[in-house]
């Protein structure tokens, strides 16, 4: 049995989205890339801050270890550690048998420029109760 062509229903017109889905997909991909880049910049800044604090801690411990040779020797030891960590020693102060150091460095924030950050640490003998 053959159906005559005029008996078939007309084809439904194809209604497209005009490329809106492709544009929406491109914007979604761009948003994912932007958020990922922002997260990476924040992670880099946090890592740099941790590096700065570790350098301050090591410089303070080094200075406290050398404090028995005098304040100048203690700050010199802190300066050597700061140089090796590639940070600037801003201050080195001894208070009795404790040493406090402050180190600084520029932290890159990518497209947002860079900021100067500081970290401080204090080291000295532990207090013993006898």
Write the pLDDT tens digit of every residue in 35-77. Answer: 998 898 888 888 989 999 999 999 999 999 999 899 999 999 9
- Domain assignment present for residue 11? The answer is no
Q: What is the pLDDT of residue 130?
A: 56
Range of the domain at 107: 32-123
Beta-strand ranges (E) seen in the chain are 88-95, 98-108, 114-123
- Domain assignment present for residue 19? The answer is no
Structure tokens at 18: 């005009």
Which of 108, 127, 129, 105 is CA-nearest to residue 116? 105
- Domain assignment present for residue 3? The answer is no
Q: How far apart are CA 121 and CA 30, in angstroms?
A: 42
Q: What is the pLDDT of residue 11?
A: 72
Question: pLDDT tens across 101-112, in order?
Answer: 999 999 887 777
Q: What is the pTM of this model?
A: 0.72
- Domain assignment present for residue 9? The answer is no
Angle between the 71-84 and 20-66 helix axes, to the nearest 10 degrees? 150
**Confidence grade of residue 17 (pLDDT, cut at 50, 70, 90):** low
- Domain assignment present for residue 129? The answer is no
- Domain assignment present for residue 27? The answer is no
- Domain assignment present for residue 72? The answer is yes
Does position 22 have pLDDT exceeding 90, yes or no? no
Q: How many domains are there within the chain?
A: 1
């Amino acid at each position: 049995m053959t159906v005559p062509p005029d008996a078939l229903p007309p084809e439904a017109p194809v209604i497209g989205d005009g490329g809106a889905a492709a544009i929406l997909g491109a914007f979604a991909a761009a948003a994912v890339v932007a958020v990922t880049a922002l997260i990476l910049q924040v992670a880099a800044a946090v890592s740099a801050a941790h590096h700065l604090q570790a350098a301050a801690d090591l410089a303070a411990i080094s200075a406290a270890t050398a404090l028995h040779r005098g304040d100048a020797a203690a700050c010199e030891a802190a300066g050597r550690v700061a140089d090796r960590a590639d940070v600037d020693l801003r201050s080195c102060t001894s208070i009795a048998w404790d040493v406090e150091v402050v180190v600084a460095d520029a932290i890159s924030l990518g497209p947002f420029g860079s900021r100067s950050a500081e970290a401080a640490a204090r080291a000295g003998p532990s207090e013993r109760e006898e």
